[in-house]
């Protein structure tokens, strides 16, 4: 089969990259349509339709060391300015940028489609994955041009997203677009059971009796073999990714480190929390409040392909969540499993979807109470700093629940079902 994947950013959309790996391994041809220029991969046909973004990116990531991050009064003035700029950008986006600030990709793709591109000739299916939502509009145009079934993949909620932030009037407009796209799709998929339930309610308003299909994101364990830890007498926690505007928190862990240090159970000088990703102001404030700012180290963002090497320095990988977190199966959790890391859930519900998926696997801990969290941290410290033992796990003991191959099988089943209608 020839399958076209419509993805705004080829290098960052790990979900679709995992799917492409699984499809190619199963003998299918993959055509990647992206907005990024100069992308290539020997395994796929990559088509770039670049454009100049009207609104640019919402924010930039600054790579600062821990001392600079935790500096002071001057920084707070910068934070206020950043918030004002962010507010102005969102107001402009709500008023003028439809369906979102990446809308410039739509005419770029339409121009490409007007040339009758051979890459989509004979396509058996088109899979469009958001964010951004512009990718869904583009995917619908590509599927129409190719006369192929359209699978719309919601990696996040759209109008029901807690981070929507464009106001009620704009939400009404976007809700209409969301429903039109769902109505025109031959199948709708998503990444978690929570999202599946929310999106199915929306889908049934426009196509009664239908259901959104759940396909978890697969992770190939092979590249993560480089993430094996070499003990160095330090206890190192690690986190990759975003903090969702302070909603995800490490406060319970920082408080535990403080309690144990005050009791003489651990030496804070031998503990580090390494972070790859964005800087979070609330986390910095929590570190100052608990007197643990000396353990934090920001490394900035790293390319996805470099994460295994980054995690090779980590003993315990962190998965912070918050009670209403609909992104309850962060991709990083599967990556941590593939890397063989001990995983510590922070503020997660015992009946959360991610917890249920990994229930019973070794090396999975959570801060269900302050006492259990203290016990976990003390055990980690004794192993890493006292015994010099690694906290890593072997894949034979703790396999990854979803691989690119199983993910591809599930998407192919969705495609066959859509084509048979």
Is 183 found in the same domain as 162? yes
Is 170 found in the same domain as 41? yes
Is 184 found in the same domain as 309? no
Tokens 């480190």: give the residue: 257
Tokens of 48: 């770039």
| Residue 207, number of CB atoms within 10 A of its CB | 14
CATH code, 20 = 3.40.50.2000
* DSSP H/E element including 319: strand 316-320
Q: How far apart are CA 347 and CA 319, in angstroms?
A: 9
Is 379 found in the same domain as 309? yes
| Confidence (pLDDT) at 379 | 96
Number of compact structural domains in the chain: 2
Please check the confidence at residue 348 and state whether its pLDDT lies above 70: no
| Confidence (pLDDT) at 137 | 94
Is 162 found in the same domain as 259? no
291 — pLDDT class (breaks 50, 70, 90): very high
Please give the average per-residue pLDDT across 373-377, as a whole number: 96
324 — pLDDT class (breaks 50, 70, 90): low
Per the domain annotation, does 146 fall within a domain?
Answer: yes
* Average pLDDT across the chain, whole number: 85
Q: Nearest to residue 231, comparing CAs of 339, 388, 402?
A: 388
| Confidence (pLDDT) at 61 | 27
Domain of residue 123: give its range: 2-55+98-218+403-419
Is 258 found in the same domain as 188? no
Is 255 found in the same domain as 156? no
Non-local (6+) Cβ contacts of 70 within 8 A are: 284, 287, 288, 293, 296
Per the domain annotation, does 72 fall within a domain?
Answer: no
Please say whether the beta carbons of 119 and 31 come within 8 A. Answer: yes
Please say whether the beta carbons of 1 and 28 come within 8 A. Answer: yes
Is 202 found in the same domain as 290? no
Is 331 found in the same domain as 260? yes
Please give the average per-residue pLDDT across 175-198, as a whole number: 91
Is 353 found in the same domain as 212? no
Higher-confidence residue of 97 and 201: namely 201
Is 233 found in the same domain as 173? no
Please say whether the beta carbons of 192 and 168 come within 8 A. Answer: no
Please give the average per-residue pLDDT across 22-42, as a whole number: 92
For residue range 14-23, list pLDDT tens digits in order. 899 999 999 9
Non-local (6+) Cβ contacts of 47 within 8 A are: 31, 32, 33, 34, 112, 117, 119
**Helix/strand number for the chain, H first, E second:** 14, 13
Least confident of 194-208, 291-305, 312-326, 366-380: 312-326
| Confidence (pLDDT) at 82 | 65
Percent residues over pLDDT 90 in the chain: 50
Non-local (6+) Cβ contacts of 367 within 8 A are: 252, 253, 256, 344, 345, 346, 347, 373, 376
* DSSP H/E element including 283: helix 281-290
Is 102 found in the same domain as 29? yes
For residue range 212-256, list pLDDT tens digits in order. 999 988 988 888 877 889 889 999 999 988 787 667 889 999 999
DSSP assigned state of 61:
-
For residue range 49-89, list pLDDT tens digits in order. 988 654 443 222 222 333 334 344 344 456 667 667 667 76
Non-local (6+) Cβ contacts of 343 within 8 A are: 316, 317, 318, 319, 333, 336, 337, 358, 363, 364, 365
Backbone angles phi, psi at 283, to 5 degrees: -65, -40
């Amino acid at each position: 089969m020839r399958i076209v994947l419509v993805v705004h950013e080829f290098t960052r959309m790990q979900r679709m990259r995992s799917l492409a790996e699984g499809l190619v391994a199963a003998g299918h041809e993959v055509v990647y349509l992206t907005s990024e220029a100069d992308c290539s991969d020997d395994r796929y046909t990559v088509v770039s339709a670049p454009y100049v973004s009207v609104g640019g990116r919402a924010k930039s990531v600054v790579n600062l060391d821990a001392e600079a991050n935790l500096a002071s009064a001057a920084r707070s003035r910068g934070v206020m300015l950043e918030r004002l700029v962010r507010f102005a950008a969102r107001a402009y986006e709500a008023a003028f940028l439809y369906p979102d600030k990446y809308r410039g990709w739509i005419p770029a793709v339409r121009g490409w489609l007007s040339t009758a591109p051979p890459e989509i000739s004979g396509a058996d299916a088109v899979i469009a994955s958001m964010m951004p939502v512009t990718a869904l509009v583009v995917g619908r145009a590509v599927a129409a041009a190719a006369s192929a079934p359209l699978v719309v993949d919601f990696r996040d909620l759209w109008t029901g997203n807690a981070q929507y932030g464009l106001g009620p009037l704009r939400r009404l407009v976007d809700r209409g677009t969301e429903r039109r796209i769902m109505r025109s799709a031959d199948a709708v998929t998503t990444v978690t059971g929570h999202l599946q339930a929310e999106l199915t309610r929306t889908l049934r308003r426009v196509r009664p009796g239908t259901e959104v299909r759940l396909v978890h994101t697969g992770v190939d364990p092979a590249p993560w073999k480089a993430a094996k830890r070499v003990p160095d007498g330090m206890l190192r926690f690690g986190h990759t990714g975003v903090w969702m505007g302070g909603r995800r928190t490490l406060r319970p862990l920082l408080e535990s480190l403080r309690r144990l240090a005050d009791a003489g159970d651990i030496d804070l000088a031998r503990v580090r929390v390494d972070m790859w990703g964005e800087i979070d102001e609330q986390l910095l404030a929590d570190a100052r409040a608990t007197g643990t700012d000396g353990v934090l180290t920001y490394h900035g963002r790293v390319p996805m392909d470099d994460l295994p090497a980054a995690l090779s320095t980590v003993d315990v990988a962190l998965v912070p969540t918050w009670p209403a977190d609909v992104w309850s199966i962060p991709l990083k959790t599967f990556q941590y499993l593939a890397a063989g890391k001990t995983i510590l859930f922070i503020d997660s519900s015992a009946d959360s979807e991610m917890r249920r998926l990994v229930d019973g696997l070794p090396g999975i801990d959570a801060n269900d109470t302050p006492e259990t969290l203290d016990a976990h941290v003390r055990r980690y410290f004794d192993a890493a700093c006292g015994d010099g033992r690694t906290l890593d796990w072997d894949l034979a003991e703790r396999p990854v629940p979803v691989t690119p191959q199983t993910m591809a099988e599930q998407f192919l089943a969705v495609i066959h079902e859509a084509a048979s209608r």
